[in-house]
Chain A
Amino acid sequence: MEHVTSEAIVVSDLLSHVSAVERGAVVLFLGTVRRSAEDGPVRGIDYSAYVEMAKGEFGRIVQEAGLRWPEARFAAQHRIGHVPVGEPSIAVAAGAPHRAEAFAACRFVIEEAKKRLPVWKKELLDDGRARWREDRQRDSAPPRSPCS
């Protein structure tokens, strides 16, 4: 499964990738494009990425998660291009024998993805305007893998 896609995320593909009879717990995280009073009249987000690096970085994150939770299996995708309000832009699924590992492993992958993936978003508003949305670090410290 490609970690970066320009197609709509197919949740059932992620779930089938991590599901197995020996994995009694499957946790799915979906990050969807939000429209709220706080965010304003957002009709969608154009996601852009340093695609080659994003694929590699997402792969490394999943690999690190696999070292921490060897019995778990993961599926993770970030969508790029235009994503309308309400649709998922990122999805992480983790299957594990028990729920504690499944929750922890899924949480690990999404948190690392948020910190490390070279992806940017431009919000598109109802009135036709567009604005870059940056809500995290502004300094030069590179995001560090917790495994390094």
Chain B
Amino acid sequence: MRLPHYRTTASQSTITIRCRLFGRYADALGVEALDLDLAPDASTRDAVAALRSQLENAELIPERPLVAINQRHALPDARLRDGDELAILPPLAGG
């Protein structure tokens, strides 16, 4: 399946990350996964800002949401690397 792909920088040098959305975020934005091109020094905060500026209904995602990188909880300013999977997590509600 081909995922939506968003460029967020005019630079030739970029990293590409896979962004995954869950719960009410995926519901509201109508997408569960997409690829994002970012500047090489991008952080999770930059990725979230890109999502918020480019996707409809993305204002539902807070500026500093709970995030996970490569299936581990991560800090909101964590640096991203090419090929990372960044998950934007709604408030957890298991149990």
Contact = CB atoms under 8 A, between A and B. Distances in A.
Interface stretch (A5-13, A14-22, A93-101, A113-121): A113-121
A140 B64 CA distance: 5
Given A118-B92, A140-B64, A132 B20 contact: no
Interface stretch (B6-14, B35-43, B49-57, B70-78): B70-78
Interface stretch (A36-44, A46-54, A64-72): A46-54
Contacts, number: 97
Which 7 pairs across A and B sit closest by C-beta, in order of nearness?
A119-B94, A120-B23, A140-B64, A142-B73, A53-B71, A117-B94, A140-B76
B22 A90 contact: no
B87 A136 contact: no
A48 B24 CA distance: 10
B66 A140 contact: yes
Interface of A: 31, 47-50, 52-54, 56-57, 78, 89-90, 110, 113-122, 132-143
